[in-house]
Amino acid sequence: MRKIRIYDTTLRDGAQAEDVSFSVEDKLRILSKLDEFGIHYIEGGWPGANPRDAEFFNQAKKITLRHSRLTAFGSTHRASLTAGRDPGIKELLAAKTDVVTIFGKTWDFHVREALRVSKQANLDLIYNTIAYLKKRVPEVFFDAEHFFDGYRANPEYARKTLEAAASAGADCLVLCDTNGGTMPGDIGGIVHDMARSFDIAVGIHAHNDSECAVANSLIAVEKGASHVQGTINGLGERCGNANLISVIPGLKLKMKYSCVTDAKLKKIKDVSRYVSEIANLRHFKRQPYVGDSAFAHKGGIHVSAILRHPETYEHIRPERVGNYQRVLVSDLSGKSNIVRKIRDFKLKIDPDSPRVTEVVKDLKRLENQGFQFEGAEASLELLIKKTFGLHRKFFDLIGFRVIVEKRREGEEPLSEATIMIRTPQGVEHTAADGHGPVNALDRALRKALEKFYPQLRDVSLIDYKVRVLTAGKGTDTNVRVLVESGDGRHKWGTVGVSENIIEASWQALVDSIEYKLLRG
Amino acid sequence: MRKIRIYDTTLRDGAQAEDVSFSVEDKLRILSKLDEFGIHYIEGGWPGANPRDAEFFNQAKKITLRHSRLTAFGSTHRASLTAGRDPGIKELLAAKTDVVTIFGKTWDFHVREALRVSKQANLDLIYNTIAYLKKRVPEVFFDAEHFFDGYRANPEYARKTLEAAASAGADCLVLCDTNGGTMPGDIGGIVHDMARSFDIAVGIHAHNDSECAVANSLIAVEKGASHVQGTINGLGERCGNANLISVIPGLKLKMKYSCVTDAKLKKIKDVSRYVSEIANLRHFKRQPYVGDSAFAHKGGIHVSAILRHPETYEHIRPERVGNYQRVLVSDLSGKSNIVRKIRDFKLKIDPDSPRVTEVVKDLKRLENQGFQFEGAEASLELLIKKTFGLHRKFFDLIGFRVIVEKRREGEEPLSEATIMIRTPQGVEHTAADGHGPVNALDRALRKALEKFYPQLRDVSLIDYKVRVLTAGKGTDTNVRVLVESGDGRHKWGTVGVSENIIEASWQALVDSIEYKLLRG
């Protein structure tokens, strides 16, 4: 069983996707997530082209990776300088990674029109850059840009570029379908030929412009590639890169190559959703393997068959990729989910109680309004507790007022909240300011409650997310707020939905506090 | 040049997608659109299983198709009845289409576990159904359900099911990868073998559960299939069907098969968007060939190359599929992106001015703060105009105050905004309420300005998006607001960033208004 190395470039090529812009903090979080998932190589960025990437590599040095090797990306050195004097190469070395990936031109048309040097000069650039780096970095990979187009145009020259990289000591020759235009019928023969010609590893880097990136990657492995580059969810410039979230289960479950463990594979849906969340993109429902619809059955015939034998209409068991079967237009799946949640939450509730059906109905109604409980399980737990009479209130709101006032252009406005609440121990009326209206309201509410419930001092807000739900109607649309809170030992998520962002935030903040107080 | 027949099943398999539900009217509109586009066969539905489909076929009789043949779908007749007495077969004939497609079992496991008849009985069902229909309908196709799984399990039996269909007079044997689990490396050999074994047409019907449906369809054609089934945008149950919007340009532009004309191909983006519109799904930006991002370039190196030679980073000319090249602005961008934008915006500015460098610097600073101009080109245009002294102000803010007040639990809070502005024509002090604080402020600002600038009455907010930027710090984090506005003729996007959502919204709203007033 050949071992396939997975190389993720979400942080570089993925960041080229339209509407995607990762902060340094975002990149560090994705790095940790992918390391935990067991990706072999994680390309962090191009330090020579982007100051934010240089900053990322600086910060990343403080993180100890357990499974992955961090990789820095760069180009061959400038023709006017030696490798050692090229500032881009210096930046690459300053990143201090164990692996460096260098891309170079392989298509003679590009050498002439984009790089504007002679064909021999380009071969020298490739050789000199890799030879220089190979003395200073343990592993050096060569990304053969436009290899398939180059090979079609001038096979002899394209092969020479690989020979230059190999003779300079490259550890892997990565054949790139940079424009994503290569047909699946054309990939296999070229990869096979190259894998046979070189005694070092050959890799594949496919783009999805023809909607063939995943298939092209799988075909390349079948024909001898042992290194696959791609991104989480196929994020990337134009139509994106090969989607590793589909490549990995294809390799492992269908083609029986070794790449990640069975236990890690069960986390792949979680990894996919995590990156969508950080990129602030909605997770694609029909996404193979991990989408919410990937194992959802609608047709009556299919449903009765899959209930007897899931393999009749499911290509794999969804549990293997952390997903699950759903039956649409039926409360069957709903009820069993709630029963499962009652068990997960360790609630002392009879799962056969007719009130479970009530919870399912409530949930459907709330989800229609835009609530979503996947990132807000504390709100779900409160909902179940309310239905079963296991909930109690800790305070009543008498009223709040939030004021945002701007008195001069170019100045940040002032935000202030006043609040009055009643608890069994008395009434409190107080006020707080904040960096914005929600922050002010959050601070005023805590200030009022901490007097009676000092345990709330341990609680802090970890994350706050806003999503506008029904696009297309301007500023008077529904807004969903997700809040993540923690008290040092636990973390919990809550949700609120309203036309009014203050009200939606209020719902999520109140749920967060009630959840904490109910836990005691 | 082999002619390939395209068979669309958006109206049947596509309607199985989660969240998709077509009315009869929707289906008739899609039918006309696909006919105009030149699809050879359009599967309208399964009249025996769905009363709404029977109604559709009734209505469709009134429509004269110019290019397409309408097809009705059904199953082999029931084992307990003859074909002539089966109500499903009667409904099929009542649809009065020139083509009927019958699906039948080819996987012995399914024959036993789902159909629950003997293997011989299943062969008889296939033969009898097709023979009966072939006497009454000009063209009859056989959808060989689960053919690839069946062939892997029992190749001899799977082949016999095709032989039964062929000897009964079927016009095409469609090999279906019903569960979508077949790898690209396994498709070609089987299709080749079947295409060689039968002297009638062989087709392919692929599902996308392994993200290989388009590639599997293209491979099948290469290996002898001459009929391809799929759906517009890959709509369909679970992960969807083969996406015809990618299959068609792949066949025509890359593999040089004949399927639709050059002129029709230019309409393919329009067809794709039309079906998304009717299905009420947002069009996928990264969709190959036709997505808004499909020919969008972000990296600085790429941009300077494509401006000289588009083929350096574009696999086809976007115009061939009715799409166009776009240059995005991001922190990876350099001067060449801005020069391109100055041209796109038709600004009378010398692209060699040193001020262009100033704009690039400003952009980098703003992007570090969290600004993003990809969805906010109007804000970018204003920024360039400001740097070049082409901007003027239409009003000064004297001050605003936004109040959100909640006086009772369970009640939506009230939102009110007051605003005072100065214009060359005078001062206005006014107030408005709204569904939330941003909506109230938006309404108050317009109310104040419309008195002096009546052209603002045509402007409306189309979309409003919020993104919390530096997750991990609670409610006091930076917030980015993107606003899309329109005046019936044009649409434009603007952006604002602040710790305070009201301030961020204010910036985007003011940009939107200034952009409109500057255009005159």
Bigger pLDDT: B25 vs B93: B93
Residue B73 is assigned to a structural domain of this protein:
yes
Euclidean distance between CA atoms B88 and B86, whole angstroms:
5
Q: Which residue of B has its CA nearest to A241?
A: B286
How many residues belong to chain B? 520
One domain for residues B388 and B468:
yes
Q: What is the CATH number of the domain that holds A376?
A: 3.30.160.340
One domain for residues B380 and B467:
yes
Per DSSP (E only), the strands in B19-149 are: 41-45, 69-75, 99-105, 139-145
Provide the angle, in degrees to the nearest 10, between the axes of the packed helices B184-197 and B155-167: 40
The alpha-carbon gap from A454 to the nearest alpha carbon of chain B, in Å, equals 20
**Mean per-residue pLDDT for B353-362?**
88
Computed over every residue of chain B, the mean pLDDT equals 91
Query: What is the total count of domains within chain A?
Result: 3
The helix/strand/coil state of A169 is: coil
**Confidence category of residue B375, pLDDT binned at 50, 70, 90:** confident
Q: Which residue of A has its CA nearest to B208?
A: A288
Q: Which of A238, A479, A499 lies at the smallest CB-CB distance from B295?
A: A238
Residue A159 has what pLDDT? 98
Residue A333 is assigned to a structural domain of this protein:
no
Residue A270 has what pLDDT? 92
One domain for residues A66 and A14:
yes
Residue A315 is assigned to a structural domain of this protein:
no
Residue B38 has what pLDDT? 97
The alpha-carbon gap from A32 to the nearest alpha carbon of chain B, in Å, equals 15
Q: Return the residue matching tokens 């509109």.
A: B29
Residue B344 has what pLDDT? 86
**Confidence category of residue B300, pLDDT binned at 50, 70, 90:** low
One domain for residues B443 and B485:
no
One domain for residues A126 and A222:
yes
Euclidean distance between CA atoms B86 and B485, whole angstroms:
57
Determine the residue among B404, B469, B470 to mutate to test chain A binding: the one whose Cβ has the most chain A Cβ atoms within 10 Å: B404
The alpha-carbon gap from B64 to the nearest alpha carbon of chain A, in Å, equals 30
Contact A25 B286 (CB under 8 A): no
Residue A303 has what pLDDT? 66
Contact A113 B302 (CB under 8 A): no
- Judging contacts by C-beta atoms under 8 Å, the chain A residues touching residue B246 are 210-211
Contact A237 B296 (CB under 8 A): yes
Residue B301 has what pLDDT? 65
Residue A228 has what pLDDT? 98
Task: Show which of B223, B255, B278 is a domain's final residue.
Answer: B278
Residue B471 has what pLDDT? 44
Residue A494 is encoded by which pair of tokens?
């809550």
Q: Which of B218, B370, B404 lies at the smallest CB-CB distance from A502?
A: B404
Euclidean distance between CA atoms A303 and B195, whole angstroms:
33
CB of B464 less than 8 A from some CB of A: yes
Burial label, B152 (beta-carbon count in 10 A; 0-12, 13-18, 19+): middle
Conformational region of residue A104, where left means phi above 0, alpha means psi within -120 to 50, and beta covers everything else:
beta
> Across A202-206, A471-475, B18-22, B53-57, which has the greatest mean pLDDT?
A202-206
The alpha-carbon gap from A66 to the nearest alpha carbon of chain B, in Å, equals 23
| Close Cβ partners of B14 (under 8 Å, ≥ 6 residues apart) | B20, B231, B232, B235, B236, B240, B241, B279
Contact A185 B219 (CB under 8 A): yes
The DSSP element (H or E) to which A172 belongs, if any, is strand A172-177
HSE-CB for B275 with a 13 A CA cutoff? 30
CB of A238 less than 8 A from some CB of B: yes
Residue A172 has what pLDDT? 98
Residue A280 has what pLDDT? 76
Contact A296 B402 (CB under 8 A): no
Does B266 score more than 90 pLDDT?
yes
Residue B476 has what pLDDT? 54
| Close Cβ partners of B404 (under 8 Å, ≥ 6 residues apart) | A401, A402, A437, A500, A502, A503, B413, B414, B415, B436, B437
Contact A273, A290 (CB under 8 A): yes
- Judging contacts by C-beta atoms under 8 Å, the chain A residues touching residue B465 are 468, 471
Determine the residue among B500, B505, B507, B511 to mutate to test chain A binding: the one whose Cβ has the most chain A Cβ atoms within 10 Å: B500
One domain for residues A126 and A162:
yes
Q: In which order are the strands placed within the sheet that holds B479-486?
A: B460-468, B479-486, B491-498
Structural domain harbouring B356? 348-394+457-520
One domain for residues A233 and A364:
no
Percent of chain B with pLDDT over 70: 97
One domain for residues A139 and A231:
yes
In chain A, which residues have pLDDT < 50?
Answer: 329-333, 471-473
The alpha-carbon gap from A4 to the nearest alpha carbon of chain B, in Å, equals 17
One domain for residues B223 and B356:
no
One domain for residues A22 and A129:
yes
- Judging contacts by C-beta atoms under 8 Å, the chain B residues touching residue A505 are 475
Torsion over CA: A80, A85, A86, A87 (sign): negative
The complex scores an ipTM of 0.76
Torsion over CA: B349, B350, B355, B358 (sign): positive
Contact B435 A499 (CB under 8 A): yes
- Judging contacts by C-beta atoms under 8 Å, the chain B residues touching residue A300 are 49
Contact A466 B468 (CB under 8 A): yes
Residue B321 is assigned to a structural domain of this protein:
no
- Judging contacts by C-beta atoms under 8 Å, the chain B residues touching residue A181 are 254, 315-316
CA B433 to chain centre: 37
Task: Show which of A414, A430, A452 is a domain's final residue.
Answer: A452
The alpha-carbon gap from B49 to the nearest alpha carbon of chain A, in Å, equals 9
Q: Which of B113, B181, B328 lies at the smallest CB-CB distance from A18?
A: B328
CB of B372 less than 8 A from some CB of A: yes
**Confidence category of residue B331, pLDDT binned at 50, 70, 90:** low
| Close Cβ partners of B322 (under 8 Å, ≥ 6 residues apart) | B265, B266, B267, B268, B269, B270, B290
Q: What is the CATH number of the domain that holds A426?
A: 3.30.160
Residue A402 is assigned to a structural domain of this protein:
yes
Euclidean distance between CA atoms B265 and B268, whole angstroms:
5
Contact B477 A499 (CB under 8 A): no
Q: What is the CATH number of the domain that holds B261?
A: 3.20.20.70
Residue A33 is assigned to a structural domain of this protein:
yes
Euclidean distance between CA atoms A352 and A394, whole angstroms:
30
Task: Show which of A278, A300, A335 is a domain's final residue.
Answer: A278
Residue B472 has what pLDDT? 43
Residue B288 is assigned to a structural domain of this protein:
no
Q: Which positions 147-166 of A are in contact with B (Cβ < 8 Å)?
A: none
Q: Which of B301, B374, B413 lies at the smallest CB-CB distance from A19?
A: B374
Helix and strand numbers (H, E) in chain B are 18, 16
Q: Which of A293, A300, A437 lies at the smallest CB-CB distance from B238?
A: A293
Contact A184 B183 (CB under 8 A): no
Contact A218 B328 (CB under 8 A): no
One domain for residues B145 and B225:
yes
- Judging contacts by C-beta atoms under 8 Å, the chain B residues touching residue A21 are 330-331, 367, 372
Determine the residue among B239, B244, B285, B409 to mutate to test chain A binding: the one whose Cβ has the most chain A Cβ atoms within 10 Å: B239
CB of B386 less than 8 A from some CB of A: no
| Close Cβ partners of A263 (under 8 Å, ≥ 6 residues apart) | none
One domain for residues B358 and B404:
no
Q: Which residue of B has its CA nearest to A497?
A: B412
Contact B243 A211 (CB under 8 A): yes
**Mean per-residue pLDDT for B438-446?**
94
**Confidence category of residue B333, pLDDT binned at 50, 70, 90:** low
Q: Are strands A460-468 and A426-434 parallel, antiparallel or unpaired?
A: unpaired
Residue B358 is assigned to a structural domain of this protein:
yes
CB of B242 less than 8 A from some CB of A: no
Q: Which positions 82-121 of B are in contact with A (Cβ < 8 Å)?
A: 109-110, 113-114
Residue B330 has what pLDDT? 62
Closest to B333 (Cα-Cα) out of B298, B359, B370? B298
CB pairs under 8 A between A and B: 380
Does B22 score more than 90 pLDDT?
no
Contact B287 A239 (CB under 8 A): yes
